[in-house]
Amino acid sequence: MAFSSYIRYTFRDAFRSIGRHKGMAFASVLTIAISLFILGSTLLLVLNSQYLVSTMESQLEINVFLQSDIDRKDALAFQKEIEKIPGFQSLEFISKEDALDIMQDRFGKDTDILKSLGGVNPFPDSYRIKAQSSEKVASIAAEVEQFSEVESIRYGKELVDKLLAFTVWVKNAGLAIIIGMLIAGLFLITTTIRLTVFTRKKEISIMKYVGATNWFIRFPFFLEGMLIGFLGAVIAGLIIYFGYGVTIQYVIKSVPFLPVMADSDALYRILAVLIIGGTAIGAIGSVIAVRKYLKV
């Protein structure tokens, strides 16, 4: 048989097999679509949580308040000690005068803060430190706190801990969901191909009798699995593509202060993963079914 004729035969046989078992094929496509939709949604959730974390990380600050009796020269010299700490990214020195001005701006011109405080500025010189990542915040704060020039430190320890815990939870939950859905899709495709193999036992025996090779017999089933996986992936990809755009617009309008990932390149990469993953799941499912149940 010529190669072109074999390809036509293979595609015709694969589509004919799907047509024979429409119900099971439809269930397989639907399961793959649902599985990959959940997979894609989970990936988007993980990416958005990482985007949220990175956004919040950029806003995390360690506020270091210096001793009230330290002179300005020593206060400015303390910057060199902070810059030696591993994980340090940037810092800003805030003099006691600047701190008073900031507080005055918050209360407005109607209130004289300095007069209300009895003419004495109670604010100390301080530093605002930014770390390279949220994981570094606690260690930097602990190291800075050991210096004698420091009176107190504030950095929102509970927020940092909850942020890290949330990121770990999202990754672990997403991984569990992804594995579960992939197994479910793989099982249904395997069942579909297995049913096709079972109903064509006699035809397969005849093909073997006239000299058909194992690969000649297996390839139509392999293609059938790939088609089922591909169709499921396309359906899931379309739902995610249009659904995510609508979701982003809704979030921006309803919760404008919540940062969301609007990177189209990341979305296209996820869609590519779904298409490749769905096709691969179909191919693997067919290989498993044929290897186990096709006696050739």
Task: For 267-277, write each residue's pLDDT tens digit.
Answer: 888 899 889 98
Q: Domain range for residue 32?
A: 3-56+161-293
Of 97, 124, 155, the position where a domain reaches its end is 155
List the Cα angle 198/199/201 in 5-degree steps: 65
Are residues 195 and 267 both part of a single domain? yes
pLDDT band at 238 (very low <50, low <70, confident <90, very high): very high
Are residues 86 and 143 both part of a single domain? yes
Output the pLDDT for position 235.
93
User: How far apart, in Å, do the first and last CA atoms of the chain sit?
Assistant: 20
- 167-203 confidence digits (pLDDT tens): 778 778 777 877 877 777 677 767 766 666 666 666 6
Output the pLDDT for position 117.
73
pLDDT at 256 over 60: yes
Output the pLDDT for position 13.
64
pLDDT at 230 over 60: yes
- 55-112 confidence digits (pLDDT tens): 776 677 888 899 888 888 888 888 888 888 888 888 889 988 888 888 888 777 777 7
How far apart, in Å, are the Cα atoms of 104 and each of 64, 99, 199?
Answer: 21, 9, 84
Instruction: Report how many domains make up the chain.
Output: 2
How far apart, in Å, are the Cα atoms of 22 and each of 30, 155, 189, 255, 289?
Answer: 12, 60, 13, 44, 18
Are residues 118 and 11 both part of a single domain? no
How far apart, in Å, are the Cα atoms of 114 and each of 67, 104, 108, 121, 122?
Answer: 20, 8, 12, 7, 9
Of 155, 176, 200, the position where a domain reaches its end is 155
> How many residues in total does the chain contain?
296
R_g of the chain, CA atoms, integer Å: 31
DSSP 139-168: HHHHHHHTSTTEEEEE--HHHHHHHHHHHH
Q: How far apart are CA 182 and CA 54, in angstroms?
A: 29
Are residues 68 and 51 both part of a single domain? no
Q: How far apart are CA 281 and CA 276, in angstroms?
A: 9
Q: How many CB atoms lie within 10 A of CB 266?
A: 15
Are residues 141 and 179 both part of a single domain? no
CB 63, CB 145: distance < 8 Å: no
How far apart, in Å, are the Cα atoms of 157 and each of 63, 139, 147, 162?
Answer: 12, 11, 19, 9
3-state class (DSSP) for residue 136:
helix
Are residues 186 and 273 both part of a single domain? yes
Are residues 207 and 256 both part of a single domain? yes
**Residues facing 66 on adjacent strands:** 150
CB proximity list for 167: less than 8 A, separation 6 or greater:
49, 50, 53
Indicate the range of 14-18, 43-47, 86-90 predicted with least confidence: 14-18
CB 66, CB 125: distance < 8 Å: yes
Output the pLDDT for position 239.
93
Of 155, 187, 216, the position where a domain reaches its end is 155
Are residues 205 and 247 both part of a single domain? yes
pTM over 0.75: no
